Every structure is written in C-alpha cells, then in structure tokens.
Amino acid sequence: MTLTVLALGFLVLLVAAYRLYGGWVARQFQLDDARTTPAHQVNDGVDFVPTRPFYLFGQHFSAIAAAGPIAGPILACQAFGWLPCLLWIGLGVVL
C-alpha cells in the first residue's frame, strides 16, 4: 500500500466525517450561531471573558491538547506497528 493511497483514504474519511458526522453532532446539540456564548452571558472578568479567536486557538492546544495526541500514536506505532497507529489517528481525529 503506497503513501498516496493512505493519504487519499484519510482525506476521504475526513471529508465524509465533516459532512455526515459534523451535521449529526450539530443536530444533536441544536447548535445555533445566534446564541450568545457563556463568555458574554456570565462575564465575570476572571473565568468568563470574551476574547478574539486568535487567542483561543493557541490556548486550546497548549492547555487541552498538550502532547498526548502526538505522543500516543507514536508510542502505539513503536509497540504495535503502523496499522493500529493509523487507526488511532484516523478515528481520533474524527471522534
């Protein structure tokens, strides 16, 4: 199996998940762009503060994601081979 086939397979998986799973999640949680966020509803100046998305993106990866999503598949690849690693990454990205 070549790298091109793997890359195209994952691209198809990501596009399908975005279209199908993303829409399903939006319906389940009744997402509404007009709804105000907790940062505006409960603005206390400490824990809930409205800010620009530029700062939220960096904070998300430093505080929540950390190195787990990177180190986990690498360790799985070393211990179990490339197939479990690819499945971990592919399903982890979608779910």
Range of the domain at 95: 53-95
| 82 in any annotated domain | yes
- On whether the CB atoms of residues 11 and 91 are closer than 8 A, the answer is no
| 12 in any annotated domain | no
pLDDT recorded at residue 26: 92
| 81 in any annotated domain | yes
Confidence band, pLDDT 50/70/90 cuts, at residue 88: confident
| 87 in any annotated domain | yes
| 27 in any annotated domain | no
- On whether the CB atoms of residues 6 and 86 are closer than 8 A, the answer is yes
Confidence band, pLDDT 50/70/90 cuts, at residue 53: confident
Average pLDDT, the chain: 85
| 69 in any annotated domain | yes
Residues 18-44 pLDDT 10s: 999 889 999 999 999 899 989 999 999
- Asked whether residue 84 carries a pLDDT value surpassing 90, the answer given is no
Number of structural domains found in the chain: 1
| 67 in any annotated domain | yes
Nearest to 7 by CA among 73, 95, 89: 89
Packing angle of the helix pair 82-94, 3-16 (nearest 10 deg): 20
Residue with more model confidence, 14 or 68: 14
